[in-house]
Structure 1
Amino acid sequence: MKILSIESSCDDSALAYTDIKSAKLLWHTKISQEENHKIYGGVVPELASRLFAKDLPILLQKFQDKFDFNDIACVSVTCEPGLSTSLLEGVMMAKALALSLRVPLLGINHLKGHIYSLFINQKEEIFPISVLLVSGGHTMILECYGYDDMKIISQTLDDSFGECYDKVAKMLALGYPGGVLIDTLAREAMQEFFPHGNCLQKSSNIANKTIQSPNESYKINQSFIQIYTHCSLPIPLVNQNTLNFSFSGLKNAFRLKLHSNLEVMNIVESAISMQQKLKELYAYCSDITQQETIQTKQSLENEICEKEAILHDILTQIQSHPYVRALALSFQESATTHLVQKCKKYLQNTNHIKHFAIVGGASANSLLREKLRNLCQKFDKTLLMSDIAFCADNAAMIGRATLAKIHSNPDIIKQRDSVMQNITSKGYLQIKDTDLLDQHIKNIKQIAQDKQNYIYSPQKSLLENVQNLCKQKQLDDTKANGEVSKKSCITPDESEKYKEKTYSEQEKDMKDRDSPFFDYLLQQLLELDISPRNTEI
């Protein structure tokens, strides 16, 4: 039997299929939203939610093309932590799937998923381990003894490691995500000017024209050395005897150094101005109606292409500027040194754990990996790292964590009502009457058989699609074989009220009723001819 896992905590829609017996990853895929958020310099929650509404059904269709739904023994989904509007989309799809297939639904902590990314495609697990978890939202050291036995040793006091990279990239107008961009700039500068890692020496020693080694002398670009020395950034909390992290001060120091160079700032401001113009053009283009001429649309697309080309040239100037490259290198050196110093302090007092691991999206950072290898060698620790392909958010890690959760409590997968037991603590949909649920599914299936009056629009959110569905084909209690809660659909009057509310208000309202997201997703799934069934595990 297999686990179908769903990840939707931030900006990646992902599905994975894992074999319960062998722990083998049978299939995984995802759709990234990076290009959609790049122009904004970060994730826009409302946009992310709409994209999940479009992308998750696409991934589910890809799954159906390859596998049989009847082989699914369990559905799992990321339920915390993350963006609430993003989590909601994945949770509702998972609920609809589990209810339609009559299989258990397990909620998985996203951070535990990152830890179990170490064991993807492995049946055996290694515990205890010390873990440095670095991502866009978290930076912490943990001690892990098993799925239900993990404790936080230290964490960031403000920004996370990955978040700091994203904000630095945004200051430079380079877009999102910032981790790869800054890491690439720093790595290229290191390889060009410090091929043997000489930037790790103190500034006073670096400023020589040549640096001697046992084999030969390496001539280093003197002008870049001077720039790099000027761009020197502080290492956070270097004099504090604590294991906690902090990146807000480093971020501010970067900002001050950047603003001190007027030449670079003029280029950056040009890029920001062009990005703003493009945002306005994108918004206008999406609002074009069918009545407007093809010529108008073509003219607008041509203007967008021209401005995108100009922006590309400006960003190339920024990335190739020696000051920016030196600043990126200095930032990466300070940020990674801060992490390594705290890990060193931790390892000095930790002899009982022989394995040290690094996980999370930001664990793909090249310099951080190199430094931790060296650190673990000094302390005689075995370093564990996730495969680069599974560092960022993915559903494979959620599937592997699900397997561990099942092993820690085998009875959990046998519970028919685990859909409610494992998710409702977060305040989402609650259905207690299973007979009402069965009747509700029948009614939804009846609607799904007649799709002539309902057109699904991927450009709209799930909520908007449900509103359209209810306007065009409302559930009629008098026609139903049994009574269905009136809360399970939105009337046209309610739909108009919803339009006046913000997304967060809509979300709060949905938590007080049977969610309309549930109606829509069941309807979509039943179109795929998934019949309710009982599954013996």
Structure 2
Amino acid sequence: MLVLGIESSCDETGVALVEVSGAGVPVLRADALHSQIEMHQAYGGVVPELASRDHIRRVVPLAEAVLQRSGVALADIDVVAFTRGPGLAGALLVGAGVACALGAALDKPVLGVHHLEGHLLSPFLSADPPEFPFVALLVSGGHTQLMRVDGVGRYEMLGETIDDAAGEAFDKSAKLLGLGYPGGPALSWLAEQGDPTAFKLPRPLLHSGNLDFSFAGLKTAVLTQAKKLGDELDARKADLAASTQAAIVDVLLKKSLKALEQSGLKRIVIAGGVGANKLLRSEFNAACAARGVRVHYPELHLCTDNGAMIAMAAAMRLQANVQTASKVYAFDVKPRWPLGDLTA
């Protein structure tokens, strides 16, 4: 079975082809991705209308590239999958519209995929795929969640952010420091040149007794410290960036270790854009190795939004018989769609 996946939830247009054969892990045949970062830099953030228009321009050429690279004819595709939500409404409609048009033209079924489930299952595309069950840390610009994963569609929420996500903390702190867009990678790069112990920044909810997160207070602390530095900020900017990154990673690590302890599991998956952070990977690798815990990540180029994770999530849902694709092409997207509302 060949599944074509289309991702268009925000500022990346992704298309990929995944092949399902028997009971084994689906295999990525080809993928293509276009990032809108350069276009949005002039505005300091994503402009929804521009994002939607750019998806329209990119999705068909990307699909053609994927088919050419894989050597698969359009008519040979069995299922067309697309990101149904969450995300920007206009951007989601582009992917949904193209997927449903393709499905109708080819008389093939379509399947709407939850964006976060795509991230959650993206490590199955890596050279070291995980095995169920495991604890998962979904950590991105819009979401920070800990959950127990017992199988495809079998997710138990253990904790989540009550305000800013970890990625937002990176981005907003970067903006306070006058760094460019996208802020998270810029702050991480600058942090490599600084001292992570230079400033004592808070670790919100670290000792709350639960597995929830909060990063809004950290952002406020960064602002306060930046104001205190005044004219010295430029000279100490790398140190403040390093201290900010260290605080975020410390909270993510310790909450995740607590989730592993409470669940009794010895395997953890880190997924989402922040999962590409060097310090985060280094700290998790060391802590998990010391505890005999296996840690899995997506490949670096698959940490951001991409079509491969959408095709993989659709393929795994179909393979596990938790969902069927449909020839009903009345696409409806879900800009707000909590992962807890996803039915198996």
Whether TM-score is above 0.5 comes out as yes
What is the CA-CA distance between 1:115 and the residue it aligns to? 1.4
Worse-superposed segment, 231-240 or 30-39: 231-240
- Tell whether 2:23 aligns with 1:18: no
- Tell whether 2:270 aligns with 1:358: yes
Residue of structure 2 in register with 1:399 after alignment? 311
In structure 1, C-alpha distance between the alignment counterparts of 2:281 and 2:227, rounded to whole Å: 30
Residue of structure 1 in register with 2:231 after alignment? 263
In structure 2, C-alpha distance between the alignment counterparts of 1:411 and 1:172, rounded to whole Å: 46
1:140 match: secondary structure: strand
* Paired residues for 1:131-530 under 5 Å: 131-190=136-195, 199=196, 228=198, 231-263=199-231, 321-351=234-264, 353-409=265-321, 412-413=324-325, 415=326, 417-420=327-330, 423-424=331-332, 426=334
What is the CA-CA distance between 1:39 and the residue it aligns to? 2.5
In structure 1, C-alpha distance between the alignment counterparts of 2:18 and 2:44, rounded to whole Å: 34
Q: 2:50 aligns with which of 34, 47, 60?
A: 47
- Give % identity: 35
Report the AA paired with residue 173 of structure 2. Answer: V
TM-score normalized by structure 2?
0.89
In structure 1, C-alpha distance between the alignment counterparts of 2:76 and 2:186, rounded to whole Å: 41
Report the AA paired with residue 53 of structure 1. Answer: I
In structure 1, C-alpha distance between the alignment counterparts of 2:66 and 2:30, rounded to whole Å: 9
Unpaired runs of at least 5, structure 1: 191-198, 201-227, 266-320, 428-537
Residue of structure 2 in register with 1:88 after alignment? 93
TM-score normalized by structure 1?
0.58
Contact 1:77 1:108 in 2 (8 A): yes
Q: 2:31 aligns with which of 28, 31, 45?
A: 28
Residue of structure 1 in register with 2:339 after alignment? none
Contact 1:136 1:361 in 2 (8 A): yes
2:40 match: secondary structure: helix
Contact 1:106 1:418 in 2 (8 A): no
Return the structure number with greater relative CO, CA threshold 8 A, min gap 6: 2
Report the AA paired with residue 367 of structure 1. Answer: L
More helix by share: 1
Contact 1:39 1:175 in 2 (8 A): no
What is the CA-CA distance between 1:349 and the residue it aligns to? 1.9
Report the AA paired with residue 59 of structure 1. Answer: L
Cα 1:371–1:63 change in 2 (3 A) is closer
1:357 match: secondary structure: strand
More strand by share: 2
Contact 1:132 1:359 in 2 (8 A): yes
Contact 1:15 1:29 in 2 (8 A): yes
What is the CA-CA distance between 1:150 and the residue it aligns to? 0.7
Unpaired runs of at least 5, structure 2: 336-344
Cα 1:87–1:264 change in 2 (3 A) is farther
Larger Rg: 1
Cα 1:51–1:411 change in 2 (3 A) is closer
Cα 1:410–1:340 change in 2 (3 A) is closer
How many matched pairs? Answer: 330
What is the CA-CA distance between 1:262 and the residue it aligns to? 2.7
CA RMSD of aligned residues (A): 2.2
Deviation by residue 1:148-168 (Cα, 9 ceiling, x = unmatched): 211111000100001111111
